[in-house]
Amino acid sequence: MAPRITCSRTVHTSLRLSKTQSSRFSTSPTHYNQPPPTPIETKPLNARWLNNTKTRLGKCITFGLKDDQVQEAGSILKELATDWRTLIAGSEGFLTGEGRRGLWNHAVVWGEMDSMWTKLAMADTPNKGHVNNVIYNRYAESARVNWTRNFAASIDPVHAHEWSQLGTNKGTGMILRSIKTDFKFPMTYPDHITVLHKLATPPSVSTDHFILDVVIFSERHQRPAARLVEDIVVYDYVRGKKAPLKPFMVDGFQQVWREQESARVEVGKRVNNIEERVREIEKASWDRADAVEDMGSAS
């Protein structure tokens, strides 16, 4: 019998710094070691909200709609098809626009499958396996580097060189102190992924570490395959110790924070509007006192 796959579980990974780095960290000024503000929780949409909304509209169409109602249902379905990432992620504050995202429609390749499961898949067993759990963390790391490069390319090009160094061991950089991964379902090849990052708390001039929320979307299933939380330390490689964010970095992060909050509100309104429109179609079709299903006509 093939081993059972655990579809939803949480893995905590702490990346320990070297002894030299750890001792240097302890000499940092006290105010640098203050924890960041408590992350602001934003309740995500139901994981199956997109599919459920499509199903609700499908039921209305099958039951029978007038021409104007068909057009309205079609308009909603088009919005869901083209903007599903923004609707699901944006309602939590994730930014999906060009110049803000990490990985976009990135291909999942065969070699990222768990080696044990690739043998089962090649043997044509019912259980086709899943992407190796470690790969999810690599997706997040790659997307985070792209996320910081966005600051250099489009958010604050004046300091492009300094922003680009964040992903290196030169100047001021970032060290991943810990990562928590919550797997939602076993993603398989073939598929594509979209990976988005967002600041969990507003930055300040004393910030020397910060939390990033991450979501990994399966394009095939159009829902989150995993959610992660990254604890990032700001490290001065020249001085060999932790350091606060530079003023221009605080400004850049604050701009993104404002954009996140704006997206959360505006996209939340869009989601509510879609819910209201779908409900109106339901009340005009099957969910009314005198509802009679359109069974068609015999030829």
- Do 142 and 196 meet the contact criterion of CB atoms below 8 Å apart? no
Query: Is residue 2 domain-resident?
Result: no
CA angle centred on 213, ends 212 and 219, rounded to 5°: 130
- Do 13 and 178 meet the contact criterion of CB atoms below 8 Å apart? yes
Pairing relationship of beta strands 191-199 and 103-108 according to DSSP bridges: antiparallel
Q: And the tokens for 29?
A: 């000024």
- In the chain, the number of structural domains is 1
- Percent of the chain residues past pLDDT 70, beyond the cut: 80
Query: Is residue 221 domain-resident?
Result: yes
Sole residue written with tokens 């992407």: 131
State pLDDT tens for residues 53-98: 999 999 999 999 999 999 999 999 999 999 999 999 999 999 999 9
Task: Give the long-range contacts of residues 123-127, CB within 8 A, separation 24 or more.
Answer: 125/2, 127/2, 127/5
pLDDT band at 26 (very low <50, low <70, confident <90, very high): very low
Q: Is the pLDDT of residue 136 over 70?
A: yes
Q: How confident is the model over 211-233, as a mean pLDDT?
A: 97
- CB atoms inside a 10 Å sphere around CB 249: 22
CA-closest candidate to residue 146, choices 102, 196, 99:
102
pLDDT band at 18 (very low <50, low <70, confident <90, very high): very low
Query: Is residue 16 domain-resident?
Result: yes
Query: Is residue 290 domain-resident?
Result: no
Peptide bond into 126 cis (omega under 30): no
- Which stretch of 13-22, 146-155, 171-180, 204-213 has the lowest confidence by average pLDDT? 13-22
- Which stretch of 59-63, 106-110, 121-125, 177-181 has the lowest confidence by average pLDDT? 121-125
pTM: 0.82
Query: Is residue 43 domain-resident?
Result: yes
Average pLDDT for the chain? 86
Q: And the tokens for 233?
A: 């330390």
Domain that holds residue 151: 9-284
- Domain of residue 131, CATH code: 3.10.129.10
- Percent of the chain residues past pLDDT 90, beyond the cut: 72
**For residue 199, what are the β-bridge partners?**
212
Identify each DSSP E strand in the chain by its residue range.
Answer: 9-14, 103-108, 172-183, 191-199, 209-218, 223-236, 241-242
- Do 39 and 213 meet the contact criterion of CB atoms below 8 Å apart? yes
Q: Is the pLDDT of residue 20 over 50?
A: no
Q: What share of the chain is helix, strand, coil (3-state, %, to 5)?
A: 45, 20, 35
Element (H, E) at 62: helix 49-63
Which one is predicted more confidently, 114 or 273? Answer: 273
Query: Is residue 241 domain-resident?
Result: yes
State pLDDT tens for residues 27-61: 333 344 445 455 455 578 998 999 999 999 999 99
Query: Is residue 294 domain-resident?
Result: no
- pLDDT at residue number 32: 40
> Phi and psi of 243, rounded to 5°?
-150, 155
pLDDT band at 139 (very low <50, low <70, confident <90, very high): very high
Query: Is residue 222 domain-resident?
Result: yes
